[in-house]
Structure 1
């Protein structure tokens, strides 16, 4: 049985083991879907290259649609990464988003959705990168799963240590602002991996679109953990 099937089976058979990543309340909160592909004509080069304008656009969409959180991104082919050389390569630029983005205010609490330990953490302090990042390790009945939390506040890294135990639904971080999170509008990059491939405190969150099938083998859909309802708007 492959790891994707084992993971899905664990989630389905152990619903009590799955907690929250943010304080989303399906009974009261609305969820806005952000499209960060070329289809979104509001994402002009000027908006993408000015964090304050990008943040203003995100805030307006959430406010106008009465949404506490925005969502989007798993295996999405995005155009917004052209603003940073961090995503350039010699042949094909990286444009495939591997995780899920949860858009909300800076300071929004972030939680561990599963019991586990701190695998690694660091401040990936480059324009366009994750900024402060935490990676947790989980044991799902023998299946190892890693969860990555990027674009955090710098204070989120204080007091952490390798192999530090974390409990389901315990707060592990807060969402950072644009001055500390890689120059992005405030949001959480949430990503799952089966194999860290020897990396510490970092793992690619954007890859070459031509390699999508390769990345999908190691990166399951975070929606299995989030269990968010259908977004109320697309735009």
Structure 2
């Protein structure tokens, strides 16, 4: 049994041990899938290159569709990274997105979905990077799992220390605004890893296509934890 299967079995055996990442009321909230691939002709270079215009586009889509959050991105081939020096350090662009993004209002509260402890944290303050980032460590009946929360507010890092216990449902932090979250529209990058590979406070949120097989082994599907109802995704 591989680690992905172990995680699925743990969740099946302990459904009450997994909680929310963001507040979501299925009786009145909907979710909008957001496409950042080349198939989305609405996202012009002019929109993507401007944080203000990009933010306006995201929140206009949410308002038009009466959705609380925009979601998506797990192993999505993202063409919007093509103009960023952060993702173009070699001839092969890091354009496969490894987590799920939840797009919503700045200051949205982020919650710990599984009891654990603080593994590491860091302000990755390059343009286009995560900005304030927190990584939690979870022990699931012997299976080690790490959860990453990127694009948080500066305040989210205050008072943390490595090894600090984090209860199920405890606030982790809040969505940061563009001035502090790496120059992005407000959102959360949520990602799951089985191995941190020696890194602290950071882990790649995108990979090169040639690296896909490696990361598919180490990156778990965030939807296993998020568990948003399919009926609320429009």
Residues 84-142 of structure 1: CA deviation (Å, up to 9, x unaligned): 20001323011000000000000000000000000000000000100000000000000
Task: Map 1:6-21; keep pairs closer than 5 Å.
Answer: 6-21=6-21
Partner of 1:82: 82
Residues 19-57 of structure 1: CA deviation (Å, up to 9, x unaligned): 110001122210000001000011110101000000000
Partner of 1:24: 24
The Cα RMSD (Å) is: 0.8
Measure the CA separation in 2 of the matches of 1:101 and 1:10.
24
**By how many angstroms is 1:82 displaced?**
2.0
Measure the CA separation in 2 of the matches of 1:84 and 1:138.
33
Task: Map 1:152-231; keep pairs closer than 5 Å.
Answer: 152-230=152-230
Residues 148-176 of structure 1: CA deviation (Å, up to 9, x unaligned): 00000000000000000001111110000
- 3-state SS of 2:217 partner: helix
**By how many angstroms is 1:213 displaced?**
1.7
- 3-state SS of 1:87 partner: coil
- 3-state SS of 2:86 partner: helix
Partner of 1:66: 66
What stretches of structure 2 of length at least 5 have no aligned partner?
A: none
Partner of 1:130: 130
Question: TM-score, structure 2 length as denominator?
Answer: 0.98
2:126 equivalent to 1:112: no
Task: Map 1:44-59; keep pairs closer than 5 Å.
Answer: 44-59=44-59
Tell which deviates more after alignment, 80-89 or 97-106. Answer: 80-89
**By how many angstroms is 1:60 displaced?**
0.4
Measure the CA separation in 1 of the matches of 2:229 and 2:33.
11
What stretches of structure 1 of length at least 5 have no aligned partner?
A: none
2:140 equivalent to 1:144: no
Measure the CA separation in 1 of the matches of 2:154 and 2:101.
18
**By how many angstroms is 1:83 displaced?**
2.9
Question: TM-score, structure 1 length as denominator?
Answer: 0.97
Moved over 4 A (4+): none
